[in-house]
Amino acid sequence: MILLNQILQGVLLGGYYALIACGLSFMFGVMGVINLAHGSLAVLSAYALYVLADRFGVEPFLGLCVVAPLMALVGWALQRLVLERSARGGLLVPVLSTFGLSIILDNLLFEGFGADTRLHLISAISPTTAGRSPTRSRSASSRRSPWGLRSRCSAALRPISTEH
């Protein structure tokens, strides 16, 4: 079962990378602009879907019906406000403007969701978390971020132990 899970996760992750690469090549082929914020925008949309599902209880597939048009509007606004203006300045200006946008988005996401990559989600019914309430342990992962985001299953978040 673990092997099947790894294969499925690999195929899904490879498909995600392929979609991002297609978007990058499509944008460069049509517009001649290298968008370095493309990955940050993809991560922003993933976190938007996460917030809708976790904080507001929206089903993830239904949340896609909200996030996809919202990100289309964000893309349209970026096209009108940033990319068209910077494309008039030469070949290097759009690269620099999208790089700056990427830095801004990444830092906003770090501020809102944290940057600890050692946390992972374990099953809420796991024996290690059974009977533990989120109010009893106030670890760094269960504190509220500056934007008031906190996972409903924050008790199931724990640092990955490097000890064996």
pLDDT in tens, 132-155: 444 444 444 444 444 444 444 444
Burial pattern 72-85, b for ≥16 Cβ within 10 A else e, equals: eeebeebeeebbee
Phi, psi of 114, deg, nearest 5: 90, 170
pTM, full prediction? 0.63
Q: Provide the terminal-to-terminal Cα distance of the chain, rounded to the nearest Å.
A: 23
Lowest mean pLDDT among 36-40, 62-66, 73-77: 36-40
Which helix H or strand E contains 127, and what residues bound it?
none
In the chain, where the domains are located: 11-115, 117-164
**Cβ 118 vs Cβ 144: under 8 Å:** no
- Contact residues for 102 (Cβ-Cβ < 8 A; gap 6+): 36, 37, 39, 40
Q: Give me the pLDDT at residue 163, please.
A: 55
Question: Residue 162 — very low, low, confident or very high, per pLDDT cuts 50/70/90?
Answer: low
Q: Give me the pLDDT at residue 69, please.
A: 97
Percent of the chain with pLDDT over 70: 71
Average pLDDT value for the chain: 77
- CA–centroid distance for 9 within its chain: 17
3-state secondary structure of 10: helix
Q: Give me the pLDDT at residue 156, please.
A: 41
pLDDT in tens, 74-113: 999 999 999 889 988 888 898 999 999 999 999 999 998 8
